[in-house]
Structures are given as structure tokens and as C-alpha cells.
Amino acid sequence: MNLILIFLPIILALGIITSYEDTKTGKIRNKWIIIAISASIIIHFILYTQQIININYIGKMLLFTTFSLIIGFTLYLLQMWSPGDAKLFTAYTSLLPLTIYQHITTIFWPLEILINSFIPIAVFLLIQIIIKTTTKQKMTIIKTILNPKQITQYLLTIFSIGWITSLMLGHYGINDFLLSILIITLISTLLKKIYPYELNYLLALIAILRIFVNKDQMILPQFWIGFLIMTMMYMLIITIINNLGSLFITSTDINHLKEGMIPTQGITQKKQEYERIMLNTNNPNMIYQTKPGGLTKEDIKKIQNLHRTGKLHFNHILTQQTIPFATYMIIGTIITIVSQGNLIIFIRTIF
């Protein structure tokens, strides 16, 4: 029995509904996640009673679903997406039959959904950078990329953190180029947040250690080819990340603020006046603080009450438009179904 035919209508319905709501409201409602996971539980129970799947299948599905929830909320804590996206990823994991995963690169098969979702996101954002930036902005981006200090940072990051990543993945027999890039990006982003000193010194120490440990590998041409390709891919990703702010910042009417919007400006009280400041400014007098989930109902109420009573001498604040991850996640899920796992490996099998 082709199990995907049973789950596909639910997957498509979940994708259409959550994509529409995420685009329109920036939110993914819990009720759709609950309905999808409940449907998954009922279907799996029926399949088990009909002896179509066994207890080992159920155990692996539960394990994968649990890990999806953990990974999803880890990305949320790193402020890479919303809690709704984390729960949606978990729902798709519970709905995608294990039999679909034929071309895999990891022992945690549902990670292929995230890898396949990243590809259309990267393409979309790259196109946005090309279209929305002016010639002057493009030249600034190119100068930043080609800055010797920046290039040194990229090379050190891939040479050092890339080594750690390859050791981690190699331990589990995983050899996936795109997954390696994503993990390197996550680790470097996390280090910049938690490491209080100059990061290049730490990376240089790791790089020196790698040279001593893997000196025989250094003389192989294929090593340097792979290293340079990975560095260029990493540069591309970092360029996209660093320019997201300028692409998706918009001026929003205070009366049109919605829960979940992400402000890039704060409002602070200075004597009897209120003024707008950059949100990352460390100011205890700000009436709201930056949060991964964006503005809360209480935040919006405070802002609109001040505006209504004439205490604010401005009508707009800058907010950052969110990327509708729900849309890209259903695209990634469909890609996973069509390619039966990892898209890159699937393409390799064709050519």
C-alpha cells in the first residue's frame, strides 16, 4: 500500500490553510496543528490495527516527531522562526510516511523537509536582493563581501567550524553538503551570540589544530575544491541574512499594528516626551522589548493608548515583514515527497 496517498490530502489541506493564514496574518493557529496531528494519530492507529504498519514503525514515528518538536523549538529559541513554524514542522513530520524516505542524508529523516524548504527560501531571498536593491546597494554588498577581513572571516569559519561539523556528521555516516552549510551557519550564528571575545582568535586556534590533525588531507586537490565551494555557499547565505533587514522593513501605521509584527524601532519616554529609537538600544525606559514572537497584545495596547491620547508625535513605526515560512514548508514537504527525501541526492540519481 502506498501510504502517502492516505496522508496527502491532509498534508495539502494543512499546507493551503496555514500558508494562507501565515501570509495574511503572520500567524499559524494551533487548531490546525492539533487537527493535523490528531488525524495522524487516528490514521496510524487504524493502519496498526490493520497490520499495515508494526510497532517498530510506530516507535520510529514517535521518536522522529518528538525530535522534530525539539529541533523546531531550538530554532525558535535562536529566533530563526516562530513557535507556530516549530509546531507546523512537527505536524508535517507526523504526517509524512516513513516509507517515503528513500534518498536520505541523515539518521533523522524528517530533517530533509527543512533542507528542501531552505532551497526555495534561498532562491526567493536572492531574487529579492537582486530586484529590490539599488545599484549603489549592490555595490556596497559586493564591497562588503570582498573586504579582506570579511573574506578571512568566511575562510576561517568554514575551515574550523566546517571541520567540527564534518566530524559530527561523519560520526553518523552523514555526508550532505547543504546540511553541512546549514549547520555551520547555525553554529557560527550561535557563537556570535554567546561568545564574548574576538571570534576569529578561537576559529584560528581550531584551524591550526585541524592542520596538525588532517595534514595529509591538506595536499588533496578535491579537499580545496570542496572547501572553496562551501566557502562561496556560506558567503551567499550570510549575504542573504545580512541584507534581510533592508529588504523587508516597512513603515506601519500605529493603528494597523497586529500581534506578532516585529518592530525594528522602540518607543521610549524622555521626560514628558516619547520618541522612536532603534530597538536594539539598551534602554530600560522603552515601553516594549524585542521578543522572538514579535509584538504582543499588551505591547500594541500600550502603543495605541499613547497614540490615542496624543502623547506620540508620530503615526508610524518601522516593522520588519516576516517571511511566511508556512508557504515554504509545504513546498519543502512536497519536494520531499516527489524526490523521496533529499532533493540533491534525487537529482544526482537522475543525472
Q: For the residues 301-328, what does the mean pLDDT come to?
A: 84
Q: Residue 28 in contact with residue 22, Cβ under 8 Å?
A: yes
Work out the pLDDT band at 192, boundaries 50, 70, 90. confident
Arithmetic mean of pLDDT over the chain: 85
The separation between the first and the last C-alpha atoms of the chain, rounded to the nearest angstrom, is 29
Backbone angles phi, psi at 244, to 5 degrees: -65, -40
Model-level pTM greater than 0.75? no
- Which residues, in sequence order, are CB contacts of 58 under 8 Å at separation 6+? 44, 48
Work out the pLDDT band at 66, boundaries 50, 70, 90. very high
Q: Residue 280 in contact with residue 262, Cβ under 8 Å?
A: no
Q: Residue 158 in contact with residue 230, Cβ under 8 Å?
A: yes
How far is Cα 135 from Cα 308, in angstroms, rounded to an integer? 41
Identify the pLDDT of residue 345: 84
Q: Is the pLDDT of residue 161 over 90?
A: yes
How far is Cα 81 from Cα 322, in angstroms, rounded to an integer? 9
Structural domain spans, the chain: 4-110+325-350, 134-242, 261-320
Q: Is the dihedral of CA 323, 324, 325, 331 positive or negative?
A: negative
Identify the pLDDT of residue 310: 83
Q: What percent of the chain has pLDDT over 90?
A: 30
Q: Is the pLDDT of residue 249 over 70?
A: yes
> Which own/partner pairs from 79-83 qualify as long-range (CB within 8 Å, at least 24 positions apart)?
79/292, 81/325, 82/28, 82/260, 82/292, 82/293, 82/294, 82/322, 82/325, 83/292, 83/293
For 164, the grid coordinates are 567540527
Considering only residues 130 and 292, tell me which one the structure prediction assigns the higher pLDDT. Answer: 130
How far is Cα 248 from Cα 133, in angstroms, rounded to an integer? 11
Q: Residue 78 in contact with residue 186, Cβ under 8 Å?
A: yes
Q: How does pLDDT run across 279-310, given as a tens digit for each residue?
A: 665 667 777 776 656 788 888 888 888 888 88
Work out the pLDDT band at 45, boundaries 50, 70, 90. very high
Q: Is the pLDDT of residue 94 over 80?
A: yes
Q: How does pLDDT run across 196-213, given as a tens digit for each residue?
A: 788 888 899 999 999 988
Backbone angles phi, psi at 290, to 5 degrees: -70, 135
How far is Cα 231 from Cα 188, in angstroms, rounded to an integer? 13
Work out the pLDDT band at 15, boundaries 50, 70, 90. very high
